Every structure is written in C-alpha cells, then in structure tokens.
C-alpha cells in the first residue's frame, strides 16, 4: 500500500486490496486540538492499525499507527521488536520525548517513527524535564517498539 497516495477517497478500497478480510470502521478521533476522522482496521477483534485523517483537510492522511506485530516496516522492525534490533537496522535513529513523556525514535527525513515502551533510564535519580526533549541511546536500552508510526 503506497501511503503517499492514500486518501479518503481510495482508503477503504486500498485496505481491502492489501488486507482482504480485515474489518474497517470509521470513528471520530479526539485530541487536545480539533477532532478528526479515524479509520480502525481490525482482524479477529484485534486492532492491527489505524489511519488518522488531517483535521483541516479530511481527504488527506495525517498518520498511520500500526499496533500489531503482523506488519513489519521496510527495515524489518515490527511492534514488539527490541530497540537494539531497530538500531541495528537503522543505525541513525535519534531518540526524543514529547510533552506527554512518550519516547520516540526516528531518523532525519524519515516518515517512519517508533513509539517505545519500557523503562527509560534517567541520569542519576533525576526526573525527565519536559523542556528537554532529547534522549540518549543508552537511556532506551532494553526498551521495545510499542507502535510503528508513519507520518505525512
């Protein structure tokens, strides 16, 4: 499925072509900002991935989130992979946090990012400060991929 060519007009047809037998449901996604159209793709009652449309241009995909290990990205990384595997396949990964203290990994210019889960190692007994978004590679050792995310 070519995500760059995916739009609201061809989304259901494309999903059905590449994932026959999967169920697609449309709902409204909520966030701190405006609501947006959200498509949930499930198989056997397990959410496999979701597609969020841009809130201000609802015919354009904003991002796709893969929540199942059924799908690998082009680097051979999937949900549940350990971060060491991702680093081996993508040695230029950079790590950072967001305002909600979620930890992410991506590389410059890439649309593919990973949300990590596990124990983030902090320097001494310090706390993570929201103003400092950078995370060093040693801090994410033993973490694993929680979601694969493709952003427009």
Instruction: Enumerate the domain spans of the chain.
Output: 3-66, 83-151
**Tokens 């950079």 correspond to what residue?**
94
How far apart CA 42 and CA 40 sit, in angstroms, is 6
Please state, as a whole number, how many other Cβ atoms lie within 10 Å of the Cβ of residue 132.
Answer: 9
Instruction: Please list the pLDDT of the chain residue by residue as tens digits (152 residues).
Output: 777 778 788 899 999 999 999 999 999 998 878 889 999 999 998 999 999 988 787 678 889 999 999 999 999 999 999 999 999 999 999 998 887 778 999 999 999 999 999 988 876 655 655 556 778 888 889 999 999 999 87
Residues β-bridged to residue 66? 49, 148
Cβ burial of 108 (10 Å; 0-12, 13-18, 19+) is exposed
pLDDT value of position 100? 74
Token pair belonging to 99: 């305002």
For residues 120 and 2, give the distance between their C-alpha atoms in angstroms, rounded to a whole number: 34
Q: 113 Cβ partners below 8 Å, 6+ apart? A: 104, 105, 106, 148, 149, 151
């Amino acid at each position: 499925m070519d995500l760059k060519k995916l739009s609201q007009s061809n989304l259901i047809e494309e999903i059905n072509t590449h994932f026959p037998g999967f169920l697609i449901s449309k709902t409204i996604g909520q966030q701190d900002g405006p609501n947006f159209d959200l498509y949930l793709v499930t198989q056997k009652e397990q959410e496999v991935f979701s597609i969020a449309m841009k809130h201000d241009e609802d015919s354009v995909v904003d991002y796709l989130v893969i929540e199942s290990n059924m799908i690998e990205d082009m680097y051979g990384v999937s949900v549940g992979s350990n971060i060491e595997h991702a680093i081996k396949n993508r040695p230029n990964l950079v790590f950072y946090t967001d305002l909600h203290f979620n930890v992410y990994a991506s590389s410059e210019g890439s649309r593919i990012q990973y949300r990590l889960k596990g124990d983030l190692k902090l320097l001494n007994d310090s706390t993570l400060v929201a103003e400092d978004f950078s995370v060093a590679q040693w801090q994410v050792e033993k973490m694993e991929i929680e979601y694969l995310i493709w952003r427009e």
